[in-house]
């Protein structure tokens, strides 16, 4: 019985079981709907096509998903039968659905919703989400075909229920009249394709409430979709079989309520199934079976013979030439080739081509955009080594650093966009306020046009893919100016993007990568609709000045000087490992790297000793040899800056207490490597504690109280990120909440960036604006506010008579009363004012005398 399995104290459960009994006790010839045995929040339904319409005689199946707080929030609806009015396996937009919670009334029920759905069938779609506008003749053909068989969807339990409902509806819905009979046709629309698209069941499905038999006291939100092609596994012990006789099924509500399962069996099957489900879903999200592979020519980037030998370094001239960008391996100084430094006219031409492509791409579906992401994801997973080797050769980082900073971050962003991207770009409905109750207010997100990005060299793969993914998924094109220090890898990574775009039939020139120097970047800023910049504060200021000429929006990510605070109640060896990783990742060349270490005086000595022990074990050398922990410094001149910062600190009393080592790299490679260095006795008069180092240096300073730690951490012109470690989560959060920065990690470092739903960015010299997350995705959009009449054309906007031109002499009196009626703090004052408003409206209006006050 229901009381034995479900938490009957839960109002949603009580309401749903009540509606189930009413549905089965009062049968209808126009529809039937029943919940799944294993999840009463999911109902399968079938409706009969409305009479005297092109849908007459049709049987249309679908799914209703009830929210956890039903009936206080509306359900979602999805059609499964091709019909020509609504898309299949897409949550459709109706005034009674979850797209319009402002319209929903708790007194409404599943029965109410089905009656409304039937009424909506013959109405005009008006461009609503999930709507179709097939010709009348096409809809009649689909109505005939809908009777032949129930749609195939989901698990065996779902399918059995769908088939039984279909048999019931066949008896209730007479066939199409003889005059309307149409020969069978083969359905090849996108709707039928969607029925087998795993994305509709996994990636594109939002999390829905699911009550599990293993726990009768709580309601958890879990995805409960199963791909139509997958073998369904029962999530709990077998319950009573669903009756195969349709009449018996409909007349016995208790047969549709699952029986109590054996607790001992559930204790075993629930965690096993939960883990298996999670793994299967994860794999299906990553690589659905229908994702094509792409071929990318990498023959010219695979020659790494020079990095298999030591003592093979080559002296090089300056990278800068007037018309060329020279490319070299930082780890070996091997010459990689050159790329053109584009002139302003060439940049404008590339942007113009991207603009043409964007106008086409703006009309693409989210389904097509998701396929682009899946193709990229599949290629990345299958070619991790190639991607990391290219990054390693162009920037000097190790393969492990490349995997962490290039592969994982990019895959995380793609999977987040696949699962949530469309959700955050859909129209968002807002409240209308008291004076506009007759209106519907919404926010629409439209593409901006051509996004420009100027990105840094430290993570060439991710720095290209990060803005590109957000721009393209939101319907824009993008032109990316890569750093002169990472042009070789950037141009190769473009091939991957172009191949994936070609595989889905996207327009050419949708994504462009350009190479050059300052004038190339300046021309890009002057030509695009938004600019995203990742780099130094100095260049960021120049970009802002240039962007002011065209007044385009700007997002600046300008690096940081992140504080790493360690309280006395931590596990020192554990935190020391995190500290070293935070400082040495990619040889310290991270905008969000740990650069200032503040450690409580009680554990200062032990923490320093632990860090020194780890750092002394670190060896730097050519990364592709596979035997070094840390790679090279990307730019020769940067090693000189690092040494200058260290020398300034030493001159002011600091002390080096530990350094890593550099391998046998040859005499000509001195400037390409900087050994990891631990420095103590530092203070804020030293440049090392004020300027962004961007290198493998760990300056460690002690503090005595939490207040002092906060004061020291905030004593910086940067404000990107921070990390706070304490045995007390509450204490760590209290400290982090007082730090003036855009990103905070509690008992971890830089984990925020792996949560791609979160925005990323800082304050002060760390820049402004956000990329990543919902905020970063929407920042690529024109955000448009739209207000329309809620009950058009029954109720239309009309100017009240007292303030119509010519304005009546009581016009201001009317306005005073209206303001009081709408916003008065006392209910009685508001009622009295409302009476006054009605009186004034009913009075005969007299045009005001020109001398009277308006």
Which are the catalytic amino acids?
557
3-state class of 41 per DSSP? coil
Note whether 113 and 96 are within 8 A (CB). Answer: yes
Q: What are phi and psi of 401, to 5 degrees?
A: -60, -40
Q: What are phi and psi of 706, to 5 degrees?
A: -65, -35
d(CA 721, CA 764): 12
| Dihedral angle, C-alpha 201, 206, 209, 212, nearest 10 ° | 40
d(CA 636, CA 670): 9
Give the angle 685-690-691 at the CA atoms, nearest 5°: 130
d(CA 371, CA 292): 9
Give residue 764's region: left, alpha or beta (phi > 0; psi -120 to 50).
Answer: left
- Convert 690-714 into a string of H (helix), E (strand) and C (coil): CCCCCCCEEEEEEECCHHHHHHHHH
Q: How far is CA 726 from CA 338, 411, 572, 839, in A?
A: 50, 31, 10, 67
Note whether 466 and 440 are within 8 A (CB). Answer: no
- Residue closest to 424 by CA, chosen among 788, 103, 781, 770: 781
Helix 518-525 and helix 344-361, axial crossing angle in degrees, nearest 10: 40
Lookup: tokens for 730: 């509450």
| Dihedral angle, C-alpha 417, 418, 423, 426, nearest 10 ° | 80
* Terminal-residue alpha carbon distance, the chain: 70
Note whether 496 and 371 are within 8 A (CB). Answer: no
Helix 384-395 and helix 487-503, axial crossing angle in degrees, nearest 10: 150
d(CA 551, CA 154): 51
Q: What sections of 585-727 are H helices per DSSP?
A: 604-616, 636-651, 706-714
d(CA 166, CA 161): 9
Q: Which residues contact 285 (CB under 8 A, 6 or more apart)?
A: 202, 203, 415, 418, 419
Q: How far is CA 410 from CA 298, 450, 527, 758, in A?
A: 20, 22, 27, 14
Note whether 495 and 297 are within 8 A (CB). Answer: yes
d(CA 409, CA 296): 22
Note whether 552 and 527 are within 8 A (CB). Answer: no
d(CA 249, CA 42): 17
Q: Which residues of 175-214 are buried (b: 16+ CB within 10 A; e: fewer)?
A: ebeeeeeeeeeeeeeebeebbebbbbbbbbbeebbbbbbb
Q: Which residues contact 615 (CB under 8 A, 6 or more apart)?
A: 580, 584, 658, 659, 660, 676, 677, 678, 698
| Dihedral angle, C-alpha 449, 450, 453, 459, nearest 10 ° | 90
42-48/59-65 β-pairing: antiparallel
> How much is the CA Rg of the chain, to the nearest whole Å?
32
d(CA 590, CA 166): 60
């Amino acid at each position: 019985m229901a009381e034995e399995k479900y938490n009957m104290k839960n109002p949603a459960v009580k309401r749903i079981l009540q509606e189930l009994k009413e549905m089965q006790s009062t049968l209808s010839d126009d529809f039937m709907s029943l919940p799944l045995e294993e999840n009463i929040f999911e109902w399968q339904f079938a409706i009969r096509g409305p009479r005297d319409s092109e849908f007459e005689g049709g049987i249309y199946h679908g799914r209703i998903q009830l929210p956890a707080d039903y009936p206080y929030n509306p359900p979602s609806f999805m059609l499964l039968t091709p019909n020509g009015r609504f898309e299949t396996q897409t949550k459709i937009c109706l005034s009674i659905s979850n797209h319009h919670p402002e319209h929903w009334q708790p007194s409404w029920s599943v029965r109410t919703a089905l009656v409304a759905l039937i009424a909506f069938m013959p109405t005009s779609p008006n461009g609503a989400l999930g709507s179709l506008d097939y010709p009348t003749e096409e809809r009649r053909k689909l109505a005939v075909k809908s009777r032949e068989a129930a749609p195939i969807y989901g698990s065996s339990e779902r399918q059995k229920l769908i088939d039984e409902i279909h048999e019931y509806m066949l008896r209730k819905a007479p066939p199409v009249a003889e005059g309307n009979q149409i020969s069978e046709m083969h359905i090849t629309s996108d709707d039928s394709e969607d029925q087998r698209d795993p994305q509709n069941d996994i990636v594109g499905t939002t999390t829905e409430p699911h009550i599990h038999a293993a726990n009768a006291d709580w309601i958890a939100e879990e995805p409960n979709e199963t791909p139509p092609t997958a073998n369904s596994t029962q999530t709990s012990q077998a319950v009573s079989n669903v009756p195969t006789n349709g009449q018996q099924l409909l007349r016995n509500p208790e047969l549709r309520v699952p029986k109590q399962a054996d607790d001992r069996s559930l204790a075993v099957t629930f965690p096993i199934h939960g883990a298996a489900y999670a793994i299967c879903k994860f794999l299906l999200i990553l690589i659905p079976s229908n994702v094509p592979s792409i071929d990318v020519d990498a023959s010219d980037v695979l020659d790494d013979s020079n990095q298999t030998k030591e003592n093979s370094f080559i002296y090089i001239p300056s990278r800068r030439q007037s018309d060329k960008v020279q490319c070299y391996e930082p780890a070996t100084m091997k010459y990689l080739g050159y790329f053109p430094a584009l002139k302003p006219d060439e940049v404008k031409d590339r942007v113009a081509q991207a603009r043409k492509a964007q106008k086409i791409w703006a009309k693409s579906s989210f389904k097509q955009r998701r396929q682009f992401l899946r193709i990229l994801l599949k290629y990345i997973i299958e070619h991790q080594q190639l991607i990391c080797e290219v990054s390693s050769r162009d920037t000097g980082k190790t393969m492990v650093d490349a995997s962490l900073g290039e592969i994982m971050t990019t895959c995380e962003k793609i999977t987040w966009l696949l699962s949530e991207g469309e959700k955050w770009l859909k129209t968002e409905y807002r409240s209308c306020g008291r004076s506009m109750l007759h209106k519907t207010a919404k926010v629409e997100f439209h593409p901006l046009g051509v996004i420009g990005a100027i990105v840094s060299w430290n993570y060439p793969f991710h720095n290209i893919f990060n803005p590109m993914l957000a721009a393209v998924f939101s319907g824009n094109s993008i032109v990316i100016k890569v750093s002169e220090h990472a042009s070789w890898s950037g141009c190769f990574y473009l091939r991957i993007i172009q191949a994936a775009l070609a595989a889905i039939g996207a327009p050419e020139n949708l994504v462009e990568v350009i190479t050059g120097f300052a004038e190339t970047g300046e021309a890009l800023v002057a030509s695009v609709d938004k600019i995203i910049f990742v780099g130094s504060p100095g260049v960021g200021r120049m970009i802002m000045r240039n962007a002011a000429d065209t007044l385009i929006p700007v997002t600046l990510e300008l690096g940081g000087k992140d504080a790493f605070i360690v309280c006395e109640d931590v596990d020192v060896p554990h935190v020391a490992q995190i500290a070293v990783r935070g400082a040495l990742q990619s040889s310290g060349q991270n905008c969000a790297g740990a650069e200032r270490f503040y450690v409580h005086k009680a554990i200062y000595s032990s923490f320093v000793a632990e860090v020194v022990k780890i750092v002394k074990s670190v060896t730097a050398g050519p990364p592709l040899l596979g035997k070094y922990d840390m790679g090279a410094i990307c730019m020769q001149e940067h090693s000189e800056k690092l040494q200058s910062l260290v020398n300034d600190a030493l001159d002011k009393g600091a002390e080096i207490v530990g350094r890593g080592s550099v391998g046998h790299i040859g005499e000509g490679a001195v400037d390409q490597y900087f050994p990891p260095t631990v420095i103590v006795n530092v203070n804020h008069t030293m440049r090392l504690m004020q300027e962004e180092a961007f290198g493998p240096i760990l300056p460690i300073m002690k503090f005595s109280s939490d207040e002092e730690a906060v004061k020291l951490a905030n004593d910086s012109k940067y404000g990107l990120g921070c990390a706070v470690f304490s045995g007390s989560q509450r204490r760590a959060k209290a400290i982090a909440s007082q730090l003036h920065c855009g990103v905070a990690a509690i008992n971890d470092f830089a984990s925020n960036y792996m949560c791609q739903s979160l925005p990323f960015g800082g304050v002060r010299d760390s820049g402004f604006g956000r990329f990543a997350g919902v905020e970063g995705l929407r920042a690529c959009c024109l955000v448009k506010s739209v207000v329309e009449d809620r009950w058009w054309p029954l109720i239309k906007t009309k100017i009240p008579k007292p303030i119509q031109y010519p304005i009546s002499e009581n016009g201001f009196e009317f306005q005073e009363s209206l303001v009081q009626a709408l916003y008065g703090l006392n209910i009685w004052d508001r009622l009295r004012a409302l009476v006054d408003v009605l009186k004034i409206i009913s009075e005969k209006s007299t045009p005001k005398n020109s001398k009277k006050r308006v």
